[in-house]
Structure 1
Amino acid sequence: MSDSAVLVVEDEPMILLDLESALEGAGFQVVALSNAEAAIELFDADPENFSSLLTDIRLGSGKSGWELAKHLRRAHPTIPVVYISGDSAPHWGAEGVPESIMITKPFAPPQIITALSTLLNQQQPMPPVDAEA
């Protein structure tokens, strides 16, 4: 799809593996991690390496998916964000970043692929660099 990757953050190993497999099967490059702190460290090192974020809300004892998305949006205000959660969906309106999508567990992989594709297709293309400038 592009040279940049979907940053996938999920603390349940089997769900993370399923997400990674489904997205790669659909043609996405994927960087899969199990906690927000590792995701923030990797993102901060090279924000341009990531096209979008797919994150669970509850990520164990560290930062939440809500906090992770807000951190990424400070550096990249329009990065597409898809949240997945088993029980936090009612808080999406208050906690989620604008123009994001919430998918509740259990979900089917095509729901994730469709949500990411929709948000990525809504992105405004970068203006061409003027070689004469």
Structure 2
Amino acid sequence: MSCRTILLVEDEALILMDIEAALIEEGFQVVTAMNGIKASETFEADPTRIDGVVTDISLGKGPNGWCLARQIRQQMPEMPIVYMTGDSAHEWEAMGVPKSVLIPKPFVHAQVITALATLMNHSNQA
């Protein structure tokens, strides 16, 4: 697999660093953002460099993970999206984008890696 770049969006620094380290260990390049505004700016700067998105739902100031994913999917309809949440799992069916995965917190890194790999494989076949 060529080096894939993941946009990781998480407003809690320790969780962000922990997931970033796990993704890097799996061979991904990771671009991080701690809120929806920064994530949008990062994506808009060069949408083609992002191969997948892992986002928390509650991101503090600016767009939440639901809005961010919809915005990204408007430009890149096949973009793999993995949501992480401690409290919004019940909203996924109504708010999540199609062909996304939601992983409730707490989780193990393998769940995020597996979800990402599965979605990336499907988007490559589309």
TM-score, normalization by structure 1 = 0.91
The percentage of aligned residue pairs carrying the same residue is 49
Q: Structure 1, residues 41-88: CA drift from partner, whole Å, max 9, x if none? A: 111111000001000000012210000000000110110000000000
Q: Secondary structure at the match of 1:83?
A: strand
Structure 2 CA distance for aligned equivalents of residues 45 and 113 of structure 1: 25
If you compute each CA radius of gyration, which structure gives the higher value, 1 or 2?
1
In 2, are the aligned partners of 1:4 and 1:48 still within 8 Å (CA)? no
The Cα RMSD (Å) is 1.2
TM-score, normalization by structure 2 = 0.95
Count of residue pairs brought into register by the alignment: 126
Say yes or no: does 1:48 pair with 2:62: no
Equivalent residue, structure 2, for 1:29? 29
Regions of 4+ moved over 4 Å: none
Say yes or no: does 1:14 pair with 2:9: no
Structure 1: tracts of 5 or more residues without a match: 127-133
Structure 2 CA distance for aligned equivalents of residues 34 and 25 of structure 1: 20
Structure 2: tracts of 5 or more residues without a match: none
- Greater share of helix: 2
